[in-house]
C-alpha cells in the first residue's frame, strides 16, 4: 500500500570565506510516488485544496506551469537514461495554499528499486527555476558515499556569484533522508544540508506541522530574506539578477 511520507526535517546552511554566516531551521517535506495514487490523509490533497497539498503544476517545468512526473520522463528519455522504475518527489508541500521550494528533488529508481538518478529542482526568489541532473555515467546506484558534481549555472543568491560548482551527496533510506550540497567557487562557498526521519504522513502530523510552523513556506521566504538582510548588514556585495540559463536542465 502506497503511503505519503512526512519528513519533519532540519536544514542547515553555512557560508564559508571572508564573511561567515550560518543558520539551521526545522522544515517540512513530503515524499510521494509521483505517478501512482497513494493513500492520502483527509487533510492532504493531491492537485486539490487541502490543509497541506502537493500540486504537479508546482514541479517539473516552469513554476506554476509544471507537468510533474511527465516532465521527468521526458528529461530522462531525451538524455537516453534508461530508468524505468518509480519516480518519487521530495518537496515542501503547499501549506494552506501557499508554497515556495528553494530546492525539491526528483528521485528516479530503476526497475530493481535502486536509486539511479536524482534531479535537483532549484528555484530562486525571483521566479526562476533550473534543475541539475545527478547520476553516474554507468547509471550505477547512488549511495551515501558517492559525490556527484555539477557546474553552477543558475543565479540563486544575490550575495554569491554564479561561477563555481556543486557537489551533491544523497542518502535516501526508507526510514530517513540525508542530502548534502556543497557549493564552492574557490576560496568561498556554502554547505547546505537537509536531514530527517521519514514517517507516514497522517492528519496528526499535518496538524502538528501547522502548529509548529504555522506559516509553512511563507516562513521559509521570510527566513531567506532575513538572512539576506544579515549578509547585507555584514557588507557582502549584492549582485544584480542575470537572465536564467536557456536550458532548464544541466548536469
What global pTM score does this model have?
Answer: 0.92
Give just the sign of the alpha carbon dihedral 143, 186, 249, 61: positive
Q: pLDDT tens digits, residue range 37-46?
A: 888 999 999 9
In angstroms, the Cα distances linking 51 to 91, 128, 208 are: 16, 26, 12
User: Can you list the pairs that 219-222 forms with residues at least 24 positions away whose Cβ atoms lie under 8 Å?
Assistant: 220/27, 220/92, 220/100, 220/102, 221/100, 221/125
Checking DSSP bridges between strand 52-54 and strand 165-172, what pairing results, if any? Answer: unpaired
DSSP conformational letter for 98? B
Q: For residues 245 and 152, give the distance between their C-alpha atoms in angstroms, rounded to a whole number.
A: 11
Q: pLDDT tens digits, residue range 231-244?
A: 667 667 777 777 88
For residue 178, what are the β-bridge partners? 171, 195
The chain-wide mean pLDDT, for the chain, equals: 89
Are 159 and 21 a contacting pair, CB within 8 Å? no
DSSP conformational letter for 240? P
pLDDT value at position 155? Answer: 85
189-224 exposure pattern, b = at least 16 Cβ within 10 A, e = fewer: bbbbbbebebeebbeebbeebbeebeebbebbeeee
Instruction: Please determine, for residue 20, whether its predicted confidence score (pLDDT) is greater than 80.
Output: no
For the chain, the domains span: 5-237
Q: For residues 251 and 28, give the distance between their C-alpha atoms in angstroms, rounded to a whole number.
A: 27
pLDDT value at position 83? Answer: 95
Cell of 68: 510533474
pLDDT value at position 193? Answer: 95
Are 104 and 223 a contacting pair, CB within 8 Å? no
Checking DSSP bridges between strand 103-109 and strand 115-123, what pairing results, if any? Answer: antiparallel
pLDDT value at position 89? Answer: 98
For residue 148, what are the β-bridge partners? 168
Q: pLDDT tens digits, residue range 159-215?
A: 777 888 999 999 999 999 999 999 988 777 888 999 999 999 999 999 999 888 776
Q: pLDDT tens digits, residue range 110-126?
A: 999 999 999 999 998 88
For residue 26, what are the β-bridge partners? 10
Amino acid at each position: 500500500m502506497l503511503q505519503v511520507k512526512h519528513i519533519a526535517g532540519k536544514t542547515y546552511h553555512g557560508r564559508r570565506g571572508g564573511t561567515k554566516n550560518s543558520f539551521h531551521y526545522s522544515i517540512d517535506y513530503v515524499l510521494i510516488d509521483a505517478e501512482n495514487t497513494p493513500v492520502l490523509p483527509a487533510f492532504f490533497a493531491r492537485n486539490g485544496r487541502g490543509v497541506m497539498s502537493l500540486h504537479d503544476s508546482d514541479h517539473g517545468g516552469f513554476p506554476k506551469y509544471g507537468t510533474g512526473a511527465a516532465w521527468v520522463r521526458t528529461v530522462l528519455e531525451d538524455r537516453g537514461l534508461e530508468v524505468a522504475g518509480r519516480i518519487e518527489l521530495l518537496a515542501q508541500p503547499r501549506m494552506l495554499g501557499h508554497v515556495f521550494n528553494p530546492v525539491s528533488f526528483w528521485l528516479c529508481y530503476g526497475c530493481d528499486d535502486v536509486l539511479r538518478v536524482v534531479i535537483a529542482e532549484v528555484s530562486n526568489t525571483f521566479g526562476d527555476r533550473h534543475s541539475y541532473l545527478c547520476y553516474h555515467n554507468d547509471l550505477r546506484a547512488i549511495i551515501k558515499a558517492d559525490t556527484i558534481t555539477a557546474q553552477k549555472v543558475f543565479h540563486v543568491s544575490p550575495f554569491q556569484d554564479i561561477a563555481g560548482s556543486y557537489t551533491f551527496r544523497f542518502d535516501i533510506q526508507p526510514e530517513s533522508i540525508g542530502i548534502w550540497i556543497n557549493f564552492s567557487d574557490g576560496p568561498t562557498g556554502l554547505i547546505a544540508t537537509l536531514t530527517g526521519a521519514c514517517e507516514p504522513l497522517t492528519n496528526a502530523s499535518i496538524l502538528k506541522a501547522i502548529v509548529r510552523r504555522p506559516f509553512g513556506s511563507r516562513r521559509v521566504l521570510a527566513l531567506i530574506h532575513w538572512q539576506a538582510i544579515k549578509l547585507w548588514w555584514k557588507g557582502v556585495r549584492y549582485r544584480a539578477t542575470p537572465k536564467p540559463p536557456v536550458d532548464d536542465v544541466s548536469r
